[in-house]
Chain A
Amino acid sequence: MAQLRVNPTRMELKRIRARYDTARRGHKLLKDKRDELMKKFLDIVREDKVLRERVEAGLAGVYRSFAAASAVIGRQMLVEALIMPGREVALDVEYRNLMSVTVPEFEAEILGDGGAAVFNYGLAFTSGELDASLRELAALLPDLVRMAELEKAVQLLAAEIEKTRRRVNALEYIIIPQYLETMKSIRMKLEENERGNTTRLMKVKDMMIEKKLMSKRKEAEAE
């Protein structure tokens, strides 16, 4: 495992130990964040799955009756009937903070003549099928908006979870082992120095004793 290139001093050891502690704490926090995000994410995905299946089934029905209407009154007539809608949908957007991810919430508001204006055409030249399919479609609107809200949250949360997961893994498998390795090597270097020092001292002491012995022997010879 790669280790950091630092001077093997007590000061560096202290500094790296502080960074290691921070990394450990950060790792724990991020892990908790990831788990919580995942829980919320899966709740949303489950709800969205149900909703999407309902919307898709509803839309299939709408398209079917739409095709029927188109067959009865002709395509040109259909386009003319729809080209001037009597209403407009406006969305109110509010933001919610979900584990530090900003997700939008939509509230649909219908501008125009209200509910009846789904049919903004003369009833004389159009067929009942068209009315029915448009009514079905209008009934799907709340589901469509809710689904958009959920799927947007899914997309945003997925990106955030991926990012958090990468950070957790980087800390767990790279940064923290690196610090541990570095601390170990510094400690070993320091111990080695300590031993070197002790041996040197012992050696010096031996030399001093020898010198003393020599001088004592010389004194004895002189007498």
Chain B
Amino acid sequence: MYKIGIIGERDSVLGFMSLGFSVHEVSGADEAAGVLHKLVSSGEYAIIFIIENLAERLSGEIEASKYHELPLPAIISLPGQSGNTGYGLAAIKDAVRRAVGADIVFND
């Protein structure tokens, strides 16, 4: 049995407590990176949601750690309280561009 974690600033993640997610409040990207590595290496989490503004700043870090190539956990960005930055869709777009060599899904 695995847990679902969520990393983000307090206002964005508070509500997820009621869902039963394991909520990790952070105040900045550096702290978030530390928490992320801790959660991944604990091996207890199958999904780790990260609020977009942090996910964007951690993208280099996540790339370097090759977390996307492990079968678990799934590291997924979600929009936060402050609004949707479109980073989540941009990340998929990026994956498509990497795989196909051209953007053929989102060009409408």
Residues in chain A within 8 A of chain B (CB atoms): 38, 41-42, 45-46, 48-49, 52-53, 55-56, 59-60, 62-63, 66-67, 78-79, 82-83, 85, 87-93, 95, 102-104, 106, 108-112, 118-120, 133-134, 137-138, 141, 144-145, 147-149, 151-152, 154-159, 161-162, 165
Pair A89/B4 contact, Cβ less than 8 Å: yes
Interface of chain B, main secondary structure: mixed
- Assuming the A-B contacts A48-B92, A92-B1, A148-B49, are A118 and B99 also in contact, with contact meaning beta carbons closer than 8 angstroms in the complex? no
A91 adjacent to B4 (CB under 8 Å): yes
A98 to chain B, nearest CB (A): 11
- The A contact surface, by secondary structure, is helix
Partner of B18, one of A91, A137, A145: A137
CB pair A161–B99 under 8 Å, yes or no, is: yes
- B interface residues, tally (CB under 8 Å): 41
Across-interface contacts of B38 in A (CB, < 8 A): none
Q: Are A91 and B69 in contact (CB under 8 A)?
A: no
Cβ-neighbour of A38 out of B14, B72, B99 (below 8 A): B99
Where the two chains meet, the residues of B that have a C-beta atom closer than 8 Å to any C-beta of A are: 1-4, 12, 14-21, 46-47, 49, 68-69, 71-72, 74, 76, 78-81, 83-84, 88-89, 91-92, 95-96, 98-101, 104-106
Q: Which residue of A lies closest to B45 (CB)?
A: A91
Determine the residue in chain B with the shortest Cβ distance to A92.
B1
In the bound complex, CA of A83 to CA of B10 (Å) = 12
User: B18 and A89: CB pair below 8 A?
Assistant: no
CA gap between A38 and B17 in the complex, in Å: 38
Complex alpha-carbon distance, A62 and B49, angstroms: 16
Inter-subunit contact B1/A49 (CB<8 Å) = no
The reply to whether B20 and A87 form a contact with Cβ atoms under 8 Å apart is yes
Do A158 and B98 have beta carbons less than 8 Å apart?
Answer: yes
**Within 8 Å CB of A157, what residues of B?**
99
Judge whether B74 and A104 touch: CB under 8 Å. Answer: yes
Q: A91-B1, A92-B1, A152-B76 are in contact. Are A82 and B18 (CB under 8 A)?
A: yes
Contacts of A41 in B (CB 8 A): 96, 99-100
> Contact: A147 with B76, CB < 8 Å?
yes
CB distance from B73 to the nearest CB of A (A): 8
| B92→A145 contact, CB < 8 A | no
Question: A59 is contacted by which of B46, B79, B96 (Cβ under 8 Å)?
Answer: B79
Cβ of A103: which chain B residues have Cβ within 8 Å of it?
A: 71
Across the interface, which residues of A come within 8 angstroms of B79, CB to CB? 56, 59-60
Contact A91 B46 (CB under 8 A): yes
6 A-B pairs with least C-beta separation: A152-B74, A89-B20, A161-B99, A158-B95, A158-B99, A155-B68
Q: Is the CB of B88 within 8 A of A156?
A: no
B101's nearest neighbour on chain A, judged by CB, is: A165
